């Protein structure tokens, strides 16, 4: 069991690092292409990779799962989560968007009890309030600097958290490669449907950067931009598998906190590629959110160890 936990944590940390590489790639093309085109190209590139991985892992027949409905639902929840997250990236500094997204582990811990039946203490739930305080510090409502794109990042965190709880629930029968294959299919299908809907409605322009990234018409990409979008396909294939594997191997309310390892990468990418320097409120808010997550993890560990210590007590 301990070895399974360690493998789950390592898979998740590596998946977070791999996925973080998508953020600067997507942001780099967000001013000239629609998010649906980026996701479609990414998904097309990832498709043969995922087919090969499924074949090597469990065989292609595993795609025709008896849990088709659950897999499909989870995949489209992931599609919605990542779409709104990418829209947030178009308008926010990387450090802000990612720090707000780090509410996801706290959402996972809070929802693990009612959805999975995992024990979640009241202390853990209290840490969610601390995390929300960090969010308020970051978004500064009423300060005249609030950008509603911050709500996209938060909404993405909630949807992502629920999708990973679903991965934990179906992980006893479904492999991480099959889950990743379904996710990729949802990204490709969803991108086509959303782009087609806006095209038929004649909506091609918006003022806000996030909405513009959503409704902008598709255009033929330059070679450098195509390579950036295509690279997302390779990154996504590895990232989806590693993250799904992490939540499949270990209890959601234990492994979720290690998503915070991503805080090491987003400010670095933002500074290196876009000369973004995190604001003081971003640092303070992110510290509160991450501190809340670490406190929640420590509380859950002590709670789970208590029954075992009582059982071994000779008195």
The tens digit of pLDDT for each residue in 39-94 reads: 999 999 989 988 998 998 889 999 998 899 999 999 999 999 989 999 998 888 88
pLDDT along the chain (315 residues), means of 10: 77 86 91 94 91 90 91 94 91 79 71 66 69 68 60 86 83 85 94 95 90 94 94 83 78 69 79 80 76 67 46 36
Cβ-Cβ contacts under 8 Å for 145 (sequence gap 6 or more):
none
Residue 21, classed as helix, strand or coil, is: coil
End-to-end CA distance of the chain: 28
Query: How far, CA to CA in Å, does 301 sit from each of 53, 91, 120, 248?
Result: 34, 38, 10, 19
Domain boundaries, the chain: 2-312
């Amino acid at each position: 069991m301990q070895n399974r936990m360690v493998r789950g944590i390592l898979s998740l940390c590596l998946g977070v690092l791999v996925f973080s590489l998508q953020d600067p790639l997507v942001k780099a093309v967000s001013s000239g292409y629609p998010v649906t085109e980026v996701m479609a190209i990414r998904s097309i590139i990832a498709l043969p990779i995922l087919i090969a991985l499924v074949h090597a892992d469990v065989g292609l027949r595993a795609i025709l799962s008896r849990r088709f409905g659950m897999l499909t639902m989870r995949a489209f929840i992931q599609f919605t989560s990542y779409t709104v997250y990418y829209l947030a990236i178009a308008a926010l500094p990387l450090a802000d968007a990612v720090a707000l997204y780090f509410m996801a582990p706290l959402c996972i811990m809070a929802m693990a009890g009612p959805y999975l039946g995992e024990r979640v203490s009241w202390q853990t739930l209290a840490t969610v309030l601390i995390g929300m305080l960090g969010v308020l510090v970051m978004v500064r409502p009423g300060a005249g600097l609030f950008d509603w794109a911050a709500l996209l990042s938060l909404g993405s965190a909630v949807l992502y958290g629920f999708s990973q709880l679903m991965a934990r629930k179906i992980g006893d029968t479904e492999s991480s490669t099959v889950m990743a294959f379904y996710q990729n299919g949802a990204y490709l299908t969803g991108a086509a449907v959303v782009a087609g809907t806006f095209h038929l409605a004649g909506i091609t322009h918006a003022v806000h950067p996030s909405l513009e990234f959503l409704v902008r018409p598709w255009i033929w990409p330059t070679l450098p931009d195509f390579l950036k979008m295509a690279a997302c396909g390779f990154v996504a294939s590895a990232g989806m598998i590693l993250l799904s594997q992490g939540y499949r191997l270990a209890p959601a309310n234990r492994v979720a906190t290690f998503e915070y390892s991503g805080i090491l990468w987003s400010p670095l990418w933002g500074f290196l590629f876009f000369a973004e320097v995190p604001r003081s409120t971003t640092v303070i808010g992110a510290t509160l959110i991450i501190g809340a997550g670490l406190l929640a993890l420590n509380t859950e560990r002590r709670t789970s160890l208590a029954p075992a210590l009582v059982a071994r007590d000779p008195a």
